Structure 1
Amino acid sequence: MPLTSPPPAADEQERARVQRRTLRAVVLAQVLGGAGLAAGVTVGALLAQEMLGTEGLAGLPTALFTLGSALTAYLVGRVSQRAGRRVGLGLGFLAGGAGAAGVVVAAAVDSVPLLLVALLVYGAGTATNLQARYAGTDLAAPAARGKAISVALVSTTVGAVAGPNLVEPLGDLATGLGLPALAGPFLLAAVAYTAAGAALFALLRPDPLLLARRLDAATATRSVAAGATGPAAPTGRPRPGRGAYVGATVMVLTQVTMVAIMTMTPVHMRHHHHGLGDVGMVIGLHIAAMYLPSPLTGLLVDRLGRTAVAAASGAVLLAAGVTAAVAPGDSLPLTVLALVLLGLGWNLGLISGTALVVDATTTADRPRVQGSIDVLVALSGAAGGVLSGVVVDAAGFAALSLGGGVLALALVPVLAWARPRAAV
């Protein structure tokens, strides 16, 4: 009986060819997206403190754009499920660009309500930047998924590190345009996110998710034609494997710890008379540690297993929290060390958790499940951002840092409990 689907060799050639093209498109978008997300991380809390006139609400910007990230993660997941990665990710980045432009306008007219709405929309860029890592895995072989995730994440480093270190020149540019200096990084974010969306619309062809579904269907058709037997196909909506829940837990705990400590570090530094240049350098190195180790982390995830790397992330985040708690406020080197460890711990947790989720899902339900999990991750970050200002106001930066580190260490017993039942 002749088959209408391509032979397996042709399928694998097409998969490999499109995977290479997909990774190139994702790399370009992540470079641009990294520059966009750096604005909120670096000066969001400072801008809110300046416009709201209180430190207790300094964590509000992080909470808002993380809340917007949660909503966008859900929407991008649903749109990608129906129309593919190109449409879902492209629209997400464009929304982030519109939000960044709104922040600039809010700062120019000193409108707090507009600032709050714009920060919410700006969060779309953060969510999309993270969701793009999944696009690199749709066509990747299971043994190379950690590597594929790492390629997407490490590409973010270029823009994400450059952004914070451009705080002062971007501030000068904004001042020259008659805008507040802290609006400068959001000018860059508006351009960068918009360009990332345009790049994905233009270059992510064919769509990796839609192609993966077609190739999977062709493989199933050949199996039936050849008389292959196996377990009956499930009916109704596919359910993710247990590893998806383990991966979600890993990403949630690492996100809470990272966002809480990172959000209040610029405010803590300003209290101890560090300039904007120092703040930009510390956050830039932190973001470098979040993304630059990705190739090594991806290799470790593929070679040592997902749960081993996730457990390591808990230990590194604890070290970050302890270092931040004991470091004198005027010690720039120890602050750098704490934030670098914080970024590294987050990187280990994100890549290992993402790999667990991808392993436990299929192309039929992957975007929907991934979007739902990223909603939880974003909401946990929003909670961390909001509570960070409250905790620092009530108990100090050291208490916040130590508490975050201890929370991250909870990963170890969770993984020990789940290890016999989760794929590694």
Structure 2
Amino acid sequence: MTQDERMDAAAGAAADVSAVQRRTVWVLSIGQVLGGLAFGVTISLGTVIAAAVSGDEAYAGLATAAITLGTALLAVPLAAFARRFGRRRSLASGMAIALIGVVLVVTAVRIGSFPLLLVAFLLIGAGQAANLQSRFAATDLATDRSRGRDLSIVVWATTIGAVLGPNLTAPGEKLGALFGMPTLTGAYVFTLAAQVLGILLYLVALRPDPLLLAQRVVAERAAARTAEAIAKPDRPVVARYAIFAVAAAHGVMVSVMAMTPVHLLHHGADLTIIGMTISLHIAGMYALSPVFGILADRIGRVQTILLGQGLLVAALLTASFGQDSNTSVTIGLILLGLGWSASTVAGSALLTEASSEERRTRRQGISDFTMSIVGAGGAVLAGIILGAIGYGGLAFVVGIAVVAVAALSPIALRSRASVR
């Protein structure tokens, strides 16, 4: 085959890859709706169930801690599994482990076993690890011109399930009663259904596997020496910056968000206001992610990360100086969600293109692990800081991470590949 023939064949393959990528984004988006719904139900009931089974409200927070720990522990193994067997099996496996966890939650409530309940929530963390991995799966076949947009579309799809899930608690209890399920576990009927549908979706519809196809295309394009390739030169310093930027933004967001209900409650806000504030915060996290994805593609990944840091600064200042106003705190939480979104979308895209094909999935797993651990640690430390120096002081302390991300940005900007 001549060089021209190889180029023509590569052009045809690129068209096929583009069609597969569009289909992949749609499948992943539907999977995120199902995964977000399942996770939304779990989070909304987890602390209540933990308090009921343990008999002590002091242990309520261990449910969220166990889920977060499970997410962190399973992020790297699932990424390694994806590297060897593809995204299809990895994502389905994560949701299958979470499905086992949900069944164990119901069992633990029925027999009144708190240790089993914590193990169950630990396994449910695998579902969240799969949800996080989905955003990276959207980049496997993406080009520089569409990587941020494709990733952000999948992130945006989480909004539907995350918002809908907590609202299924009441109808779930009625449905669960029909099946003889223990009190407080009825809504897990929806979780079980969503997990099963998600597993089937990935196994049946995520074909061809985007990661395995990407690996093959990279090899073929390298052999044909085409100009447009999915593989990129490895830039470990830029990759480490991307991991740091995503983890720092997540730590800032979780630290402030976790303590906001406590702060508002102490300032006389009722549960309706607290619920509305958190709902608007979640909307800020996901609703505009496509906007930030497009910005990351057009103005650059690092520039969009810096935009996210600016939004986080605005959020922290608003929440700190307006801590006595419910309206100011709510505005601060919306800005906090927007800053997290910009940083996470652009940082994830930057990590993907700063990593060579053979190192990419491992680093993506490390990023999700780091993100989860920092979030869990931030939530724990935030409670201590809140008790010591108050809500305004907490905002200023976590702002150190924002300053660090901005200060280190020139490291990533020096790389030509990190700009686009």
TM-score when normalising by structure 2: 0.86
**Any conservation in 2 of the 1:136–1:152 contact (CA below 8 Å)?**
yes
Letter of the aligned partner of 2:277 in structure 1? V
Letter of the aligned partner of 1:142 in structure 2? D
RMSD: 3.2
Residue in 2 that maps onto 1:359: 353
| Cα distance, 1:133 vs structure 2 | 0.7
With over 3 angstroms needed to count, the CA separation of the structure-2 counterparts of 1:70 and 1:212, relative to structure 1, is same
**Any conservation in 2 of the 1:143–1:302 contact (CA below 8 Å)?**
yes
How many residues end up aligned between the 2 structures? 412
With over 3 angstroms needed to count, the CA separation of the structure-2 counterparts of 1:336 and 1:98, relative to structure 1, is farther
| Cα distance, 1:290 vs structure 2 | 1.1
Q: Which residue of 238, 241, 266 corresponds with 1:243?
A: 238
Q: Does 1:409 align with 2:403?
A: yes
- Residues 370-417 of structure 1 deviation map (CA, whole Å, 9 limit, x = unaligned): 112221111111212332344445554444344334433332112145
**Any conservation in 1 of the 2:79–2:365 contact (CA below 8 Å)?**
yes
Give, in whole Å, the separation in 2 of the partners of 1:328 and 1:173: 41
| Cα distance, 1:279 vs structure 2 | 4.5
**SS of alignment partner, residue 146 of structure 2:** helix
Residue in 2 that maps onto 1:31: 33
**Any conservation in 2 of the 1:170–1:184 contact (CA below 8 Å)?**
yes
Letter of the aligned partner of 1:400 in structure 2? L
Q: Which moved more, 1:50-59 or 1:244-253?
A: 50-59
Letter of the aligned partner of 2:20 in structure 1? V
- Residues 124-168 of structure 1 deviation map (CA, whole Å, 9 limit, x = unaligned): 111111110111111111121111111111111111111234445
The 5 Å alignment of 1:143-154 reads 143-154=145-156
Q: Does 1:294 align with 2:296?
A: no
Q: Which residue of 258, 261, 271 corresponds with 1:263?
A: 258
**Any conservation in 2 of the 1:146–1:301 contact (CA below 8 Å)?**
yes
Give, in whole Å, the separation in 1 of the partners of 2:109 and 2:383: 21
**Greater relative contact order (CA < 8 Å, ≥ 6 in sequence):** 1
Residue in 1 that maps onto 2:303: 308
- Residues 1-25 of structure 1 deviation map (CA, whole Å, 9 limit, x = unaligned): 4799781222112101211211121
| Cα distance, 1:317 vs structure 2 | 1.9
**Any conservation in 1 of the 2:69–2:373 contact (CA below 8 Å)?**
yes
Give, in whole Å, the separation in 2 of the partners of 1:190 and 1:324: 38
TM-score when normalising by structure 1: 0.86
Give, in whole Å, the separation in 2 of the partners of 1:169 and 1:267: 27
Q: Does 1:384 align with 2:378?
A: yes
Residue in 2 that maps onto 1:420: 414
- Residues 240-281 of structure 1 deviation map (CA, whole Å, 9 limit, x = unaligned): 532211110101101111122223334445556766555544
Give, in whole Å, the separation in 1 of the partners of 2:161 and 2:106: 19
5+ long unaligned stretches in structure 1: none
With over 3 angstroms needed to count, the CA separation of the structure-2 counterparts of 1:173 and 1:403, relative to structure 1, is farther
With over 3 angstroms needed to count, the CA separation of the structure-2 counterparts of 1:120 and 1:179, relative to structure 1, is same
With over 3 angstroms needed to count, the CA separation of the structure-2 counterparts of 1:222 and 1:330, relative to structure 1, is closer
Quote the sequence identity (%). 37
Give, in whole Å, the separation in 1 of the partners of 2:315 and 2:110: 37
Residue in 2 that maps onto 1:199: 201
5+ long unaligned stretches in structure 2: none
Letter of the aligned partner of 1:118 in structure 2? A
Residue in 2 that maps onto 1:76: 78
Residue in 2 that maps onto 1:64: 66
